[in-house]
Amino acid sequence: MRKKSGLTIVEQATETIEGFAAAWKLLDQQVTLRGQSHSTLDNYIRRIAQVSLHFGRLPEWVMDEEINEYLTGLALSAKSASRSSFKHAVYGLRYYFRLIGQNKRAIALPSLKKEAKLPVILNRSELKELFKAPTLLKHRIVLTLVYSAGLRGQEVTNLKLSDIDFERRTIHIRQSKYKKDRIVPLADNMAKGLKKYLQAEHPHLWLFNGHEPDGRYSVRGLSWVMRESLKKTTIRKEVTLHSLRHTYATHLLEEGLNIVTLKELLGHAHIATTMIYLHVAQCPLIKAHSPLDTLYAQKK
């Protein structure tokens, strides 16, 4: 997020808000010590920077009434981006207040109710249309890969060439969310597509090279590919890049995969997270019966 000055909002806060640099350092240390991802740090520090720039001082020097007025403005905004900012501002402030020992202020912040929204799923015809839409082979491959392995955007950008094992047909996802590694299957068709992509693009180190400082592709870039590809299709559902992961999970359930295995493939920490897909999967219904009836069922 860059302003016209060319500085990010965090850089602006560092230059203009007294004590912000020290707060950033403290937040960085805590996120590292707790084993949280850098994307978590980036999100939190951006929210603290926004609040600090709005008031011209760090949050601990802002009155509760002022913060509530600020959050109310975000919550009541007609713009979906502002409503999202409200949620993340609460998360960021809560984390920050606890970090500096102001637990009462953290508890006093508005509670956030989880939206009871089901994930939007693409059907198989829509997937085929989407995967044909991009002009560049690289873009077709990256979208297909997200669906084929149920990957998060960050997991795609972190993939290295060495993480793809064509002989064993596996993808090694390293230190993803919750600092966990996992292995997921590499589909045969995906393997063919990746080999074609590698021969054409000759990436080095990272599976998908991009313009990040270390040479990898960015999650923003992936999201852009998804948005631009959708414009070329007849798909009118409100979907994002992450919808391909939702679709992967739902389709596997519909094809009979048990939910415990699906939990491991998705890298979920809790089975309750995976169970959301039971509400959208169109699984065949089995009439209620006693297992005794099938125990002695006659062989045909």
Q: pLDDT tens digit string along 176-204?
A: 776 789 999 999 999 999 999 999 999 99
C-beta separation of 8 from 2 below 8 A: yes
* Active-site residue flag, 139: no
The stretch 280-289 carries a mean pLDDT of 74
Q: Which of 245, 246, 251, 263 is catalytic?
A: 245
- At residue 166, φ and ψ (nearest 5 deg) are -70, -30
Q: pLDDT tens digit string along 243-270?
A: 999 999 999 999 989 999 999 999 998 8
Q: pLDDT tens digit string along 50-92?
A: 999 999 999 999 999 999 888 888 877 756 555 677 888 898 9
Is the pLDDT at 32 greater than 70, yes or no?
Answer: yes
In this structure, what DSSP letter does residue 117 have?
Answer: P
* Active-site residue flag, 57: no
Per-residue pLDDT, 58: 96
Is the pLDDT at 208 greater than 70, yes or no?
Answer: yes
Q: Which domains does the chain have, with CATH numbers?
A: 9-108 (no CATH), 124-279 (1.10.443.10)
Per-residue pLDDT, 224: 96
* Active-site residue flag, 179: no
Give CA–CA dist 256/254, Å, rounded: 5
198: tokens are 């590698």
Q: Which residues contact 33 (CB under 8 A, 6 or more apart)?
A: none
pTM of the full structure: 0.67
Per-residue pLDDT, 179: 75
Q: Which of 46, 152, 216, 251 is catalytic?
A: 152
Give CA–CA dist 56/66, Å, rounded: 12
* Active-site residue flag, 251: no
* Active-site residue flag, 242: yes
Give CA–CA dist 208/217, Å, rounded: 6
C-beta separation of 95 from 44 below 8 A: yes
* Active-site residue flag, 270: no
